[in-house]
Amino acid sequence: MSSAKSENEGIKTGSDYLRGTISEGLLDAPTGALDDRDTQLTKFHGIYQQDDRDLRIERQRQRLEPAFSFMIRARVPGGLCSPDQWLTMERLATRYGNESFRLTTRQAFQLHGVIKRNLKSTIASINEALMDTLAACGDVNRNVMCSPNPEASAVHAEVQAVARAISDHLTPRTTAYHEIWLDRKKVAGAVDEEPIYGRTYLPRKFKIGVAVPPWNDVDVFSQDLGFIAITEQERLLGFNVVVGGGMGTTHGDPETYPRVGDVIGFCAPDQVLAVAEHVVTVQRDFGDRSNRKHARLKYTIADRGVAWFRDQVESRAGLMLGAARGYRFVSNTDRFGWSDGTDGRGHLTLWIPSGRVANTGERPLLAGLHAIAEVLKDNGGGFRLTPNQNVIVAGVSDDARPLVEALARRHGLMPDQAGSELRLRSLACVALPTCGLAMAESERYMPDFLSRLEALLGRHDLEDSPLHVRMTGCPNGCARPFLAEIGLVGKAPGRYNLYLGGDRAGERLNRLVRENADEKEILAVLEPLLSHFSRERIEDEAFGDFLERTEALAAAVGD
């Protein structure tokens, strides 16, 4: 590991705890952009500078600067959201954004198309709704995920409270956010401190998820740090601790790779914050600050070993992790439709294609969810964002159920309106035109690809087979494609790396089958495998499990 620090480390060191010259840049009216160094700091504030890549060439031809705008993420720990918070995001998307907002694979909100002069007003409104964007991005712990199932007993509420406590404990302490975006004055003589992160924060981003078996909807093994709730007779005993997961990789660089986390032991509920803090501090002190491609926790653990990492955490936290307890996951997808809670209220999981809440001709989702939010305001209840880009209408009274379902159906939100099981379970990142990292389409291409795949499934009598398909426009893995039964990772316009063989519980990585393949080649690889699956699968066997059980996947990889 080189002793030379990466450029980002210098930016953080000189930033005065994430202030930089952001305030000055916001006043620079002749440009729609911020200084390049400040764009690294604004990520810690939940903001990414982007431009419309569909317009780049034409704007270059006209000698105009790129069509700069900003993406803003609002943290929603555990995905819990009130009707007023939902309506706030809708209002901001309509007033300042591109008339849509997105439910992300980290259970957060994402606004696109906010121009520089509207940043402060947007973030102030988010804060007025009792949300924030601080640490939604950047080299810190990001939005803490938690299984959003509202139908379970009080145990689930307890687990949700733990997730919220982790989020609060690991939120940066700098007052820069409130000074820049909320116009609060820095107290004279006050000195910023980051007792957990230190002056230069973490080497890279850090992700935490809390899962409640038998559901692994947070994909706990993809997280830097995961907690698996262990229960017994409706009582929370504690959590198995998972470390070292991560999805991001770099094309053509074998030193980078996706990794599933390791279970290193068990902790009691009152030990969770100490474990979380010191997993973070070990990564803070030993993570690679010279090479950002090698800076995630998964590489620290791969380089130094799981036993070493556990010893470090135990020593710093002043505790001994117990032996991991037994658990079982059955699925990492959402459970759609109505379910009943222990309090007698109903919960309806709705389908949001790729998490995009917008009004289109056939599915005016924005309008439909606005109407549902108004019902919830009058009758109690709220929303829960899922880790799979969908939303649960939670806590619906018996009297309000018919109206909520009628509104959902009228606006194309009911799961049986998706058209296929395939579409219900697909995930796609934003990719083009806004994401600066995207190499290929994802959200915009996914519907067309699924149509081609549906036709293929129909030819082999597999229409009702709930295959898991995940697509990203680059190898950073935001939609967790390396855990999918079918994963497509963008390589170039119209071309993808094809991965096959993940399982439906999120516990097994898939395998690279084809590189740089276009749609025709991808479907040509899939057709004989699906034919084989249709003929020789055993009862209730998943496609990914079939590929692992037989020699079909090995043969496909070897072709």
Task: Give catalytic residues, as residue numbers.
Answer: 73, 142, 205, 207, 429, 435, 474, 478
Under 8 Å between Cβ of 116 and 68: yes
Under 8 Å between Cβ of 432 and 441: yes
State the DSSP string of 356-378.
EE-B-SS-BHHHHHHHHHHHHHH
Cis peptide before 254 (omega within 30 of 0): no
Under 8 Å between Cβ of 282 and 313: yes
Under 8 Å between Cβ of 425 and 333: yes
Under 8 Å between Cβ of 175 and 186: yes
Distance CA 396, CA 150 (A): 11
Conformation bin of residue 234: beta by default, left when phi > 0, alpha when psi is -120 to 50: left
Q: State the Rg of the chain over Cα.
A: 23
Q: What is the 3-state secondary structure (H, E, C) of 504-539?
A: CCCCCCCEEEEEEECHHHHHHHHHHHHHHHHHHCCC
* Helix, coil or strand: residue 263: strand
Task: Put the strands of the sheet holding 225-231 in their side by side order.
Answer: 145-146, 208-211, 225-231, 236-243, 262-267
Strands 382-385 and 109-114: unpaired
* Helix, coil or strand: residue 97: coil
**Which amino acid is present at 77?**
P
**Which amino acid is present at 391?**
V
Distance CA 473, CA 491 (A): 7
Contacts of 225 (CB under 8 A, 6+ apart): 206, 207, 208, 209, 241, 242, 243, 261, 276, 279, 280, 297
Alpha helices in 259-305 (DSSP H): 272-286, 297-304
Q: Which of 53, 51, 48, 47 is nearest to 441 (CA)?
A: 53
Contacts of 547 (CB under 8 A, 6+ apart): 485, 500, 501, 529, 533, 553, 556
Burial code of 348-361, b = ≥16 C-beta within 10 A, e = fewer? bbbbbbbbbbbeee
Q: Which two tokens stand for residue 129?
A: 């709704």
Under 8 Å between Cβ of 276 and 206: no
Under 8 Å between Cβ of 262 and 302: no
Distance CA 148, CA 125 (A): 25
